[in-house]
Structure 1
Amino acid sequence: MSSIERISELAGSGPALLAADADWPTIRDWRRKIREKLIAQRVAISAEDRSAWSETIGRALTAALEPYASSLIGFYWPFRGEYDPRGVLTAMRERGSRLALPVIVERGQPLVFRLWSPGSLMVQGIWKIPMPESGEAVFPDLLVVPLVGFDGQGYRLGYGGGFYDRTIAAMPVRPRTVGVGFELGRLETICPQPHDIPLEQIITER
């Protein structure tokens, strides 16, 4: 059985183990367990598969961003085996896009996005993820959002901090959203809650 089949079997059976009226603490605990397994699978992707899958994702992401070549695009610095979008986004910058990276100012609060370009001075933020050292807050027109897991309704399983849901909800104008990740993160459902905001588009190697 392939790694994708193993994680699909795990992910697909998980929600069925939850009662239909499961409360949020129960769902949160289930998400934590699924999250840990998905991250472990993602980190363990072979170099050959990662390269091939990333190339496919890159082509699809480039096509999805084509209409936003003159826009302000928020993206992410890759972490714990995530797909690396930097090559695609740097190419978008050369075509006229402005780019921004997220900054965690405080836990439980929305992210702040700051402009980024190659050569920007970076510092380590929470979880040691690089972020721009300074700059005024900006509001991207489109967000490229990393995925740990996702379902067919566009709901995203992240790291459990709720940062993206909180940020999207708080923005003065809701940005377009494109989730990016590997197909092994596909779930039958993430058991969405009222605070979960579905993404408009999800891109994987498939």
Structure 2
Amino acid sequence: MPHDPPIPASPPCFAHELSGGQPVDPQTARDVARFRKAERARLIAARLARPAAERAALADEVAEELDRLLAGYPGAVVGLYWPFRGELDLRGWMARAHARGHPVALPVVAGKAQPLVFREWTPGCAMARGVWNIPIPAEGRALRPGVVIAPLVGVDPQGYRLGYGGGFYDRTLAALAPRPLAIGVGAPEAQMPTIFPQPHDIAMDVVVLGRGKVSRRPPG
């Protein structure tokens, strides 16, 4: 069985960065990084073990909720993703959103420790292989999304997202102004009590996990 390609990451948990002018405690950063690595492996294994038919049914449920959420954002540019390692496959919904007048863009890794660039996608456009061999539009203009739909490995009740460890979505959401609506999507087993959020983590505004599980970020 082929191994997944290595995932480029930032220094563990951004321990080199400052929070409120103070450095993040290095030991805390290391402990959180170890915890997240173990949880990431556990949750991805659970995701991959789910039968494909069940994943497809969950994707349909999530797509229905996305239709409701986007009703309040007519014509908004939607940043989505191409499914990877058992993520919910929303490519059918992506094509329907485009047909309804939403410009669609897929994330492109511009470089290590850099925000993502969202490149316009259209049905049938030429695709190339990006980081981790994930397909990306081969060419096209960069778009600024008004809605970003991010895949979840894990998520806690406050909407903090566990991803693959590179920090790309956190950097991207921090860099976009005005900030887009951030929607995290995944399967019900992505729920976890906490990811032990660090100063750089940015919570999702809405989390959609299928089976009627929809939550919004607590105020404050």
TM-score under structure 2 normalisation?
0.81
Q: Does the CA-based 8 Å contact 1:183-1:204 persist in structure 2?
A: yes
- 1:120 aligned onto 2:128: no
Report the residue type matching 2:123 in the other structure: P
Partner of 1:109 in structure 2? Answer: 114
Partner of 2:80 in structure 1? Answer: 75
- 1:59 aligned onto 2:64: yes
CA distance in 1, matches of 2:178, 2:37: 31
SS at match of 2:88: coil
Q: Which has the higher contact order (CA 8 A, sep 6+)?
A: 1
SS at match of 1:178: strand
Q: Does the CA-based 8 Å contact 1:110-1:164 persist in structure 2?
A: yes
CA distance in 1, matches of 2:43, 2:210: 16
Question: Quick one: which of 126, 136, 142 aligns to 1:137?
Answer: 142
Partner of 1:93 in structure 2? Answer: 98
CA apart distance, 1:190: 0.5
SS at match of 1:23: helix
CA distance in 2, matches of 1:22, 1:204: 33
CA distance in 2, matches of 1:90, 1:193: 35
CA distance in 1, matches of 2:137, 2:56: 27
After superposing the two structures, state which structure 1 stretch, 155-164 or 133-142, moved more. 133-142
CA apart distance, 1:119: 1.3
CA apart distance, 1:47: 2.7
Structure 1: unaligned runs, 5 residues or longer: 1-20
> How many residue pairs were aligned?
186
Deviation track 1:6-41 (CA, whole Å, cap 9, x = no partner) reads xxxxxxxxxxxxxxx960111011100100110011
Report the residue type matching 2:95 in the other structure: T
CA distance in 1, matches of 2:64, 2:34: 36
SS at match of 2:139: coil
Q: Describe how 1:183-198 pairs up with structure 2 within 5 A.
A: 183-198=188-203
CA distance in 2, matches of 1:192, 1:61: 26
Aligned-residue CA RMSD (Å) = 1.4
Between Structure 1 and Structure 2, the one with more helix by share is: 1
Deviation track 1:127-168 (CA, whole Å, cap 9, x = no partner) reads 100011223322101101100000110000000000000011
Aligned-pair identity in percent equals 45
CA distance in 2, matches of 1:178, 1:198: 9
Partner of 2:41 in structure 1? Answer: 36
Q: Does the CA-based 8 Å contact 1:150-1:185 persist in structure 2?
A: yes
CA distance in 2, matches of 1:150, 1:156: 5
Report the residue type matching 1:159 in the other structure: Y
CA distance in 2, matches of 1:51, 1:103: 25
- 1:179 aligned onto 2:193: no
Q: Does the CA-based 8 Å contact 2:148-2:183 persist in structure 1?
A: yes
CA distance in 2, matches of 1:79, 1:116: 17
SS at match of 1:100: strand
CA distance in 1, matches of 2:92, 2:172: 25
Q: Does the CA-based 8 Å contact 1:39-1:148 persist in structure 2?
A: yes
CA apart distance, 1:62: 1.6
Partner of 2:160 in structure 1? Answer: 155
Q: Deviation above 3 Å: which 4+ runs of structure 1?
A: none
